[in-house]
Amino acid sequence: MEKINPLLHPPWSTKEPREAALRRVGAPSGRIREEAADNFQILLQSIPNNDIIIYSDESKLENGQTGGGYVGFQAGSQFLLKAAMTHSTAQCSPNLWICLDNLEVAIQLLSLSIGSSQAVFESFNTLAATWPSRRRLLQIESGAVRIRWVPGHANIPGNEAADCAAKEGAGKTVPTSHPWSYTAFKRHTKSQAASRAQTYWQSAAPQAYQDLEITTFSRCPLELQLPRHILGRILAARTKHRDFADYHERFNHTDAHLTCRCGARKSPIHFIFCQIAKRKAPRFPGHPSEVIPFLLGTPKGATKLAKWLTETRFFEDICPRRPPLST
């Protein structure tokens, strides 16, 4: 993985404000893509023909592999460019324009970097600083390296050519010695952590959850949106830990009431078979072997069960923790 030096630039170094960087690169600032594309075309018409314009783009394939591409233009002619500084036309070009559709990368170019791809940005800044002192014709001004944001997929020839080059680059094999950038490694680690957690869950999930076919491991289950008292009932039915006959007997709760008002023993799935509940509300359609995993094991089923429990007041009136006192 790449090495990042957080002290490369002291904290007291003057940093370009983000608003200034956005103005410098011609950020969209609320403009729609078509308007931004028209403005960029106007900019292109104002750039002298002997200036060099480099378009850069990146692409990501369906398998997750990424790549980048670079295409250079001068006086309307396209050429591939590995090093603009040493290109034969650099001595005739006052300015070097770098155009890319990644806004965050655009504002970091020519800025102080202490984050991901630090070495790349520092190398670019060093190279850009040498542009005015390059070998050039006497009548050519020293010029500068300029960064511009270009709207992507807006039928701008240079950007479209860079996009094709990026797709070609993404399809190539990445050298094993190529170091991970901090951002790429962080993204890879995050995806691997989720995948590993999912694999572990499938093998280590409690048997009660396996019986309910709860095989996915979600960081934020949709069931958490249910009212807390209803969610507690559903989680109790999943884990079989609460006001159930087997649970009370296992822990010798001698004062617990073990039966429902219908006379049946309390169980995590008793609400499906309770005779009083059947008379009070329609029974859930389907075979219990399919209905139970759906109601207790899926967010959609849990939502339906929550609505049914609220309408029937099952745990308040039909199967309460303790029977109502006789009057």
Domains, the chain: 18-186 (3.30.420), 211-318 (no CATH)
Residue from 163, 152, 85, 81 nearest 124 by CA: 85
**What single string gives the DSSP state of each residue in 133-165?**
GS---TTS----EEEEE--TTS--HHHHHHHHH
pLDDT in tens, 100-158: 988 988 888 888 776 777 777 888 888 888 888 888 888 888 889 999 999 988 888 88
Q: Are 178 and 65 in contact (CB under 8 A)?
A: no
pLDDT number for residue 152: 87
Mean pLDDT of 48-72: 73
Q: Are 166 and 59 in contact (CB under 8 A)?
A: yes
Query: Residue 5: pLDDT above 80?
Result: no
Helices marked H in the chain: 18-25, 33-46, 103-108, 118-130, 157-170, 182-204, 207-211, 228-239, 245-250, 270-273, 275-280, 288-297, 299-312
Indicate the pLDDT class of residue 23, thresholds 50, 70 and 90.
very high
Torsion (CA) 233, 236, 237, 241 in degrees, nearest 10: -140
Alpha carbon distance 321, 317 (integer Å): 10
Indicate the pLDDT class of residue 70, thresholds 50, 70 and 90.
low
List beta partners, residue 97.
53, 146
pTM score of the predicted model = 0.56
The two three-digit tokens of residue 181, written as one number: 């950038």
